[in-house]
Chains A and B, each alone.
Chain A
Amino acid sequence: MSRRTVEYVVGRSPQLGVDGSLVEAPVLPGELDLSGGTAEPELDSERMLLNLGPQHPATHGVLRLVLELEGETVRRCIPHIGYLHSGFEKQGEYRTWNQIIPLTDRMDYLAPLIYNCAFAMSVEQLMGIQVTERCKVLRVMCMELDRIFSHLLWLGTTAIDGGAITPFFYCFQERERIYKLHEAFTGQRITTSATRIGGMMADLPEGWTDELQHFVNTLSHTLDEVDRLLTANSIWIGRNQGVGAMGPQDAINHGLSGPNLRASGVAYDVRKDNPYYDYETYDFDVPVGEHGDCYDRYLVRFEEMRQSLRILQQALDRFPDGPINVDDPRVTLPGKADCMNDMESMIHHFKLVVEGVKAPPGDCYFPVESSKGELSMYVVADGGSKPVRWRVRPPSFVNLSAISKLVEGSLLADVIMVNASLDIVLGEIDR
């Protein structure tokens, strides 16, 4: 087989002659007139409607953007969401508190443990339950692990959107190790459902913390490699710097949160400003951007992974022994031996399983810092075992609502980078 080559004729439409040879087509009048000449056609008046998505790999899910283009410039962007709407909040009103936990990890399947923890924390706050020290530290480890988990996916896929495929493989190799940690702990790779009201579904298996320690020790090597591939790469800089910028006041007003808000120069982090689970006792930095563009969002997320490693190390160092579940008869099942041997424990067990945990009347809004931004679970109870209302404040949903403003006036190719840099997950936006 002979080696094939392709010839390009720049600036002309290639046409084939009768013998298959390339015939140079005549240059269209005005087409290559670079002198700013006379016969320029009026392109300004022509507006075009371009439908991007919902089935498009660069929309990171089933997002659909309808763009009004003028030439290659985006004049208006109208997002359409809801293709993945599953009515989780409605379903939650028909389930007991513990039965809702499997719904939470299906929202943000890129950081399921953060959602599991956030929901349990909100209900515990409403019930006035203080979880055990071991559970606290374990949940911090879970949340920081999944922050890395989510940021790694973001990094890999965003690099692909920018035209670099290598970081994707590096990141997914590392994510595979987190999948294994998930699986060893919860039995599932994505749909972890690891928490229960008042504790965790189980204590850690033997050797899990050693695996995690190994992961913490070795991840930074990969991060450094990806860093070398991207951060100073001129294509990466060209695609990201100055693209999709938003100032601090605008970012607050649009409700941006998480890395997107911090890239715009606002140092607001729920872990620092409204700390939960003793985050104020962990030593970590919050990276803050200065320009609010895609490049700063990249830098902020990259640095957050390193800071999460620091928190993980501190959590591993202080990980205490003791019970994982709180000793509270309202939420914790009695031991198996007790159930088999005395009547009261058996009735207690039966009632907890059949009726479910009961939360007192009231409402509770509990914000945590998820990988996407400020994630809050707002639960309203009337004293029964099911919520009156379970509301998730979806960080991606509010972040995405700013995209129309971010891409206005930019090029069509920048829409892809801006959308990628917002780090959205449609499962949570549509719920």
Chain B
Amino acid sequence: MAYRQGDSQPGSGPETLRPLVPSGARTSTDVTPERHPSVAALRSQFPEAVLHHEVSAGDQHVVHIPPERNLQILGWLKNADEHRYDFLADLTAVDYGGGRPLQVVYQLWSIWHRRALRVKCALPLTALAIDSVSGLWQAADWLEREVYDMFGIEFRGHPDLRRILMPENYAEGHPLRKDFPLRGRFSRAEQTRRALSQDPRDYYIPEELAIADEPQVFGGEGYSSAAKGSGNEQGGSNPQR
């Protein structure tokens, strides 16, 4: 095992791992409330794409870009050597309510340069779709699914855009939208009725059902055999042994 800033137990990692992070604790930063190197570079590289720039909570720089150019600009920020935002810290959305556009928020962090940047895209409620960045960062896979689940924003080109926290057949809408009431859209009675009438088949996605030899897993005589079927498989499926 290697140690960082190893004053007590110096270790040695393979050389290939070293360049990923400069050593030592951060003593100074090139980001100030007035200036952020990536923002300045964005302005010169994509002059018309930086719609708005603001500084929030001290020294946190926020850049607003048009949603149709998110892939191009984020890809540049990730791959350009002097920026290298290789760590997608967070991807989320904000609904301000009152019919205002939804914001998709990308929180980037450059492990090499130790720099953070927040990029926002505003999506009008009539066109809730944006290109997926899961091709740039694998981390976006689940984060985009969560935004889709909670806000109903569609991510074009996402490999597997399904609900993630709510059940796949959840019919009440997208919970984190401001027009969604805290207790849900359906009455308690309706929610209970739906919960009780769940079909074991709903717990699986079509891909999984395709893997399973359906008649075997979900036996012919009703769904009570579904649990039995998977139990059998756990114990070894060959009845002769």
Contact = CB atoms under 8 A, between A and B. Distances in A.
Interface in B80-118: 86-90, 92, 94-97, 105, 107, 109, 111, 114, 116, 118
A289 B20 contact: no
Interface in B5-22: 5-9, 11, 13-14, 17, 20-21
B237 interface: yes
B48 interface: no
Contact of B175 (A90, A274, A405): A90
Interface in A117-133: 125-126, 128
Given A48-B237, A266-B111, A85 B165 contact: yes
Nearest to A82: B165
B57 A362 contact: yes
Interface string A395-406: 001101110010
A348 interface: no
A230 interface: no
B240 interface: yes
Contacts of A286: 3-5
A252 B86 CA distance: 7
A81 B11 CA distance: 39
Interface stretch (B39-47, B64-72, B207-215): B207-215
A78 B205 contact: yes
B211 A68 contact: yes
A253 B132 CA distance: 15
A378 to B, nearest CB: 7
Interface string B191-233: 0000000000001110110011000010000000000001001
A253 B96 contact: no
Given A49-B211, A382-B96, A268 B1 contact: no
A87 B172 CA distance: 14
B107 to A, nearest CB: 5
Interface size class of A (residues with CB under 8 A): 35 or more
A250 B105 CA distance: 23
A89 B166 CA distance: 14
A249 B142 CA distance: 19
Contact of A265 (B3, B6, B13, B230): B13
A317 interface: no
A405 B114 CA distance: 27
A285 B105 contact: no
Given A87-B175, A364-B56, A397 B142 contact: yes
A391 to B, nearest CB: 5
Contacts of B17: 248, 265-266, 288, 290
Contact of A285 (B6, B95, B205): B6
Interface residues of B, number: 73
B197 to A, nearest CB: 18
A125 B55 CA distance: 13
Contact of A288 (B1, B94, B146): B1
A82 B4 contact: no
A271 to B, nearest CB: 9
Interface in A346-395: 362-367, 374, 376, 378, 380, 382, 388-389, 391, 393
B165 A128 contact: no
Contact of A365 (B25, B107, B139, B205): B107
Interface of B: 1-9, 11, 13-14, 17, 20-21, 23-27, 56-58, 60, 62, 86-90, 92, 94-97, 105, 107, 109, 111, 114, 116, 118, 137-139, 141-143, 146, 150, 163-167, 175-176, 180, 182, 203-205, 207-208, 211-212, 217, 230, 233-234, 237, 240-241
Given A252-B111, A267-B20, A398-B139, 11 more contacts: A85-B165, A90-B180, A250-B138, A265-B13, A272-B4, A272-B25, A275-B25, A362-B57, A363-B56, A364-B60, A365-B60
